[in-house]
A and B are shown apart, each in its own frame.
Chain A
Amino acid sequence: MSNKSGLIRRVAISILIAWNVAGYAQESHVGNLVGNARRGKALYQRYCIFCHGQYGDGRGESAAYLDPKPRDFTKAAFKCRSTPSGSLPLDSDLYDTITRGIHASGMPSWKPLLRQERADLVAYVKTFSPSFQEERPGAPVEIPPEPPPSTESIQRGSELFQSMNCWSCHGKDGRGNGPSAVSLTDSKGNPIKPFDFTSGPTFKCGNTDRDMYRDLVTGLDGTPMPSFASATTADQRWDLVHYIRTLSTANRSGHILQVKGR
């Protein structure tokens, strides 16, 4: 009898431990928030399922009508990250994307949801790929202080835009009409357009100079936009940011500076 109860106790304890281990993998941590995948699932089925689909593979009912296509969470490759190309995003990266939405895509800002709800969604989105249980996110990119923009910095940025072949996709004037633009596809083979820098000062992964700097380091995984992490120095990346700012005709950030010859 005592043996039997001991066995039951042991089984109960191991179930509890297993529950906790599995539970941790299904959590998200954003600041003080702890997201819960079970609650996230209910929210996902209400708000996200139409585009991202029941299985998180980006094949929801509305997906056919969207360009670019909704993210396939089973691949665990995310555009907006603070981690190096080819590594998992931080929970806070996914949280920021849900909060911000993605400009020039079907992904709206989900700021109307509670912060806790957004954290719960992050936890659930992570359950679609086993990668989140097998790997750790990469080390977040360090962003050094921004040097003040200057005509010289913009000029150097303009030269880098040429030598780094940014123009091949984004075009000589940044209109997204470079010679390689028509050939571009996302990693699932769907056609994808390079960003038109003249369209305004709003970008996919955030609008600050620091966001732009970070995008240059990380690249946008799942798209043709590569990482310039080893290809450029920190100063060169700031030069590129300053130059790209000048391409926007609606630049209100106070960065507009005249470059000779432009």
Chain B
Amino acid sequence: MQSRYSVLIISITALVYSVAVLGVRTTASAADSPASISGEVKFQGTPPKPTRIDVSQDPLCAKAHSTPLTTEDILVGPDGGLANVVVYISDGLSTQTFQPPQQPAVLEQKGCQYKPHVLAVQSNQKINIINSDETTHNIHPSPVNNREWNMTQPHGMPLEKSFAREEVAVPVKCNVHPWMKGYIAVLKNPYFAVSDKEGHFSLKDLPPGSYTITAWQEKLGTSVQKITVGAGENKTLDFTFKQ
């Protein structure tokens, strides 16, 4: 009886091991030669001057800033790089579904502004929403493909949310503080990035293939390019927006 059990246990262990080894092999072979696309998003022309925001209606917001708050809808770096542009694969991946990452994304309300101003997440990825301000905010996304909700959040209250369907991008606002505007881009695949202050972005660990890459900016719209990357290739792709 015991020997029969041990045979069973050995065979199960062997099975588990072989599956594990096979699993590692397949991921390793893909990881051997991942492709990547990186580049810069540029703003062509004279960048618009950010507008001053009057936050005096809420003294708790006003006292968080020594210099006046300004609009963030078009942020151009010193070398013409455009920040807060969502760059993502909009076509070319097989119909496979991607599991959301375990790590939650973080959206912070600080100084009565959204940090980051544009957040990109995967569909069903948890978003940890934090209010670091002394004042009370309400966080109110107005999606088209997802369901709308609207929650009051005093300082320190935990709040975790997610969006089920792809949407670039869900506008988020605080009705209490009307100048507070941000965006949450919800993507169905993990290959996306938001351009940094200098306009740089990179899409890493791509499977080789031909892709349509879309760049989205909240005020300037979208720009679409096609690109083919082979195994292990690192290609450059730049986008240009103008007003």
Residue in A closest to B139 when the chains form the complex, CB atoms: A226
Q: With a CB–CB cut-off of 8 A, which chain B residues contact A179?
A: 57
A225 within 8 A of B: yes
A interface with B by C-beta (< 8 Å): 75-77, 85-87, 131, 163-165, 168-169, 179-180, 183-184, 187, 219, 221-222, 224-232
A102 to B178, CA, bound (A): 26
CB distance from A79 to the nearest CB of B (A): 11
A169–B149 touching, CB < 8 Å:
no
B151–A168 touching, CB < 8 Å:
no
A151 to B142, CA, bound (A): 39
The answer to whether residues A183 and B157 also contact, given A224-B140, A226-B152 and a CB cut-off of 8 A, is no
CB distance from B45 to the nearest CB of A (A): 28
A231–B153 touching, CB < 8 Å:
yes
A and B contact pairs by CB, cutoff 8 A, 30 listed:
A75-B148, A76-B147, A86-B148, A86-B150, A87-B147, A164-B152, A168-B58, A168-B175, A168-B176, A169-B176, A180-B57, A180-B175, A180-B177, A180-B178, A183-B178, A219-B151, A219-B152, A221-B148, A221-B150, A222-B148, A224-B138, A224-B150, A224-B175, A226-B175, A227-B152, A230-B159, A231-B151, A231-B152, A231-B157, A232-B152
CB distance from B60 to the nearest CB of A (A): 9
Q: With a CB–CB cut-off of 8 A, which chain B residues contact A131?
A: 147
* Residues of B contacting A: mostly: loop
Interface size on B, residues (CB 8 A): 24
A226–B138 touching, CB < 8 Å:
yes
B interface with A by C-beta (< 8 Å): 57-58, 135-140, 142, 147-154, 157-159, 175-178
Q: With a CB–CB cut-off of 8 A, which chain A residues contact B176?
A: 165, 168-169, 180
Q: With a CB–CB cut-off of 8 A, which chain A residues contact B58?
A: 165, 168
A227–B149 touching, CB < 8 Å:
yes
Task: Give the residue of A169, A183, A187, A230 whose beta carbon is less than 8 angstroms from that of B151.
Answer: A230
Residue in B closest to A189 when the chains form the complex, CB atoms: B142
| Among B58, B152, B159: residue with most chain A CB under 10 A | B152
B157–A225 touching, CB < 8 Å:
no
Q: With a CB–CB cut-off of 8 A, which chain A residues contact B140?
A: 224, 226
CB distance from A182 to the nearest CB of B (A): 8
A164–B154 touching, CB < 8 Å:
yes
**Among all A-B residue pairs, the 6 with the closest Cβ atoms:** A86-B149, A183-B178, A224-B175, A226-B138, A179-B57, A231-B152
Q: With a CB–CB cut-off of 8 A, which chain A residues contact B148?
A: 75, 77, 86, 187, 221-222
Task: Give the residue of B150, B175, B177 whose beta carbon is less than 8 angstroms from that of A227.
Answer: B150
CB distance from A50 to the nearest CB of B (A): 26
The answer to whether residues A227 and B154 also contact, given A165-B135, A169-B176 and a CB cut-off of 8 A, is no
CB distance from A138 to the nearest CB of B (A): 10
Q: With a CB–CB cut-off of 8 A, which chain A residues contact B57?
A: 168, 179-180
B136–A230 touching, CB < 8 Å:
no
A77 to B144, CA, bound (A): 11
Q: With a CB–CB cut-off of 8 A, which chain A residues contact B177?
A: 168, 180
A222 to B136, CA, bound (A): 20
Q: With a CB–CB cut-off of 8 A, which chain B residues contact A224?
A: 138, 140, 150, 175
Residue in B closest to A227 when the chains form the complex, CB atoms: B151
CB distance from A149 to the nearest CB of B (A): 23
Residue in B closest to A88 when the chains form the complex, CB atoms: B147
CB distance from A55 to the nearest CB of B (A): 16
B154–A219 touching, CB < 8 Å:
no
| Among B57, B138, B140, B175: residue with most chain A CB under 10 A | B175
A77 to B57, CA, bound (A): 30
Residue in B closest to A220 when the chains form the complex, CB atoms: B150
The answer to whether residues A163 and B154 also contact, given A168-B57, A169-B176 and a CB cut-off of 8 A, is yes
B154–A86 touching, CB < 8 Å:
no
B147–A230 touching, CB < 8 Å:
no
A75 to B147, CA, bound (A): 8
The answer to whether residues A219 and B178 also contact, given A168-B57, A179-B57, A231-B136 and a CB cut-off of 8 A, is no
